[in-house]
Structure 1
Amino acid sequence: MTSRDDLTSTPPPVEPPTPEVHSGLMARFRNYFLTGLVVAGPIAITFYLTWWFVTWVDGLVRPFVPVAYRPETYLPFGLPGSGLIVAVIALTLLGFLTANLIGRTLVDLGEKILGRIPAVRAIYRGLKQVFETLFSGQGSSFRRVGLVEFPSPGMWSIVLISQSPSVEIAASLPGQEEHISVFLPCAPNPTTGFFFYVPRSKIIEVEMSAEDAATLIMSAGVVQPGSDPQKKVAALAGLANAARIANASPLQPVPAKVE
């Protein structure tokens, strides 16, 4: 028999699960923050490096500009970039004067004077060859990228392929195989690294630009060649939007069933 108390008694109410609002808000905040960081970070660093370069050139050129020709003489504030403009005009004018007979004569005279100074001669000749190779647009140094098995077997490093060694160095290298000089940049600072000669057969040339190789080295492998930064930004924005939609509608309580 069922008693009256059993018929009138009702099961205790079931409390609906509390939505995890706190974790959802933190996930949305993190995604939005990462999206803003990806967008604003490269822009801020680019503007900072550009401003540093312009300020550095202004500081070098301003002492050589007479006070009467400086913009701050007539303006209540300094004009950033004025020194850079003066430097570009001066270098262009120097190149124009060097292209004629008088300019070449003066350059040859200056090189003869520097060639008679033992300490300065080696520095000047070395720097001149480097600048002629890099800015002439005719050489292929550091425009090709390769892989070399370094620092131990089974480990491969990215190198920038340079020129073949001189006749004197090639004659001193062991073996009959042709060698080539390479530069192995260090991460995350590609301006430092190792320079060595390696047999041509030990180099695996890859289809990659020097700019992509520098980006890969500076990011320590985080940014791989061919990756689209815009797709990464869109993915972060989509993830943040999905989190916002998921947290926009609260969980509905599930009605309890009475047995």
Structure 2
Amino acid sequence: MPFKKYLLTGLMVWLPLAITIWVLLWLVGALDAVFGGLLSVINSVAPVAITVWSEKLRNIPGLGVVLVVSVMLVTGALVSNVAGRWWIRQWDRLFTNIPIVKSIYNSVKKVSDTLFSSNGNAFRTALLVQYPRAGSWTIAFQTGVPGGEVQNHLGADFVSVYVPTTPNPTSGFFLMLPRSDVIELQMSVDEALTYVISMGSVAPSLPAATLQKPKP
């Protein structure tokens, strides 16, 4: 039926754009809310003249995003030299000496250092693993290798993997599997995530080497 066909085709064109805009608007709103909270704190202790200016800033949409990105860039530039790294060490020493706070801070710092380090291997390799049972395959991402006491029990030939759920890959399962039980894929992490989020409906293209491989 042409009506149904045209409707679905139009939906496929506009849905990705609509979701992208919605996510961006949510992000801008969240950062503006954080900036608005900061202005509220300033207003409670600042003179009247500063309060008037802060209220004007509050009404500028997207200013929170600009300020957050600017702070990130300036911070990154400052800590890239010796003096900046010294201040970071003092900052870490301060938070690691506060009860309760140090547990949260250390955990988050270790995870962020692992995920965003340019030398790390977390989430840089897509894998094919059998889950939740043998014979049932799904996409996973290598997050590293077991360490410490866990490595002593399992041995060295294991890998740590994250199995995302679909269509929401931000939740999932952490598994430690023998290296022989996982298949390393040539697809990029972006392609693998797209495959997971689309519930398998958007399959990545085959690598060029595979396409050019002659048939026996």
Q: TM-score range by the shorter chain?
A: 0.7 to 0.9
**Post-superposition offset of 1:68:** 5.2
More off after superposition, 92-101 vs 116-125: 92-101
User: Match of 1:43?
Assistant: 17
Cα distance in 1, alignment partners of residues 51 and 187 from structure 2? 49
User: Match of 1:224?
Assistant: 203
User: Match of 1:246?
Assistant: none
The equivalent position to 2:158 in structure 1, one of 179, 192, 211, is 179
Q: Which amino acid aligns with 1:130?
A: V
TM-score, normalised relative to structure 1: 0.68
Cα distance in 1, alignment partners of residues 59 and 7 from structure 2? 36
The equivalent position to 1:73 in structure 2, one of 48, 51, 56, is 56
Gaps of 5+ in 1: 1-26, 228-259
Distance 1:47 1:197, change over 3 A: same
- 3-state DSSP class of the match of 1:84? helix
Q: How does 1:92-241 map to 2 (within 5 A)?
A: 92-173=73-154, 178-226=157-205
Aligned Cα RMSD in Å? 2.3
TM-score, normalised relative to structure 2: 0.81
Q: Return the structure number with greater relative CO, CA threshold 8 A, min gap 6.
A: 1
What do the CA deviations read for 1:69-110 (whole angstroms, capped 9, x no partner)? 55x728xx9432111111111222222333344433332222
Q: Which amino acid aligns with 2:24?
A: T
Instruction: Name which one, 1 or 2, has greater alpha-carbon Rg.
Output: 1
- 3-state DSSP class of the match of 1:118? coil
Cα distance in 2, alignment partners of residues 37 and 60 from structure 1? 34
- 3-state DSSP class of the match of 1:222? coil
Cα distance in 1, alignment partners of residues 25 and 11 from structure 2? 20
Q: Which amino acid aligns with 1:215?
A: T
Whether the 8 Å contact between 1:115 and 1:121 is mirrored in structure 2 is yes
What do the CA deviations read for 1:221-257 (whole angstroms, capped 9, x no partner)? 1222239xxxxxxxxxxxxxxxxxxxxxxxxxxxxxx
The equivalent position to 1:54 in structure 2, one of 4, 28, 36, is 28
What do the CA deviations read for 1:181-240 (whole angstroms, capped 9, x no partner)? 00111112111111011111111111111112212212211222239xxxxxxxxxxxxx
Q: Which amino acid aligns with 2:128?
A: L
Cα distance in 2, alignment partners of residues 177 and 52 from structure 1? 43
User: Match of 1:251?
Assistant: none
Percent of residue pairs identical:
36
Cα distance in 1, alignment partners of residues 23 and 96 from structure 2? 36
Count of residues paired in the alignment: 196
More off after superposition, 206-215 vs 101-110: 101-110
Gaps of 5+ in 2: 40-49, 207-216
**Post-superposition offset of 1:67:** 4.6
User: Match of 1:64?
Assistant: 38
Cα distance in 2, alignment partners of residues 106 and 126 from structure 1? 20
Runs in 1 of length 4+ with deviation above 4 angstroms? Answer: 65-70
More off after superposition, 190-199 vs 94-103: 94-103
**Post-superposition offset of 1:159:** 0.9
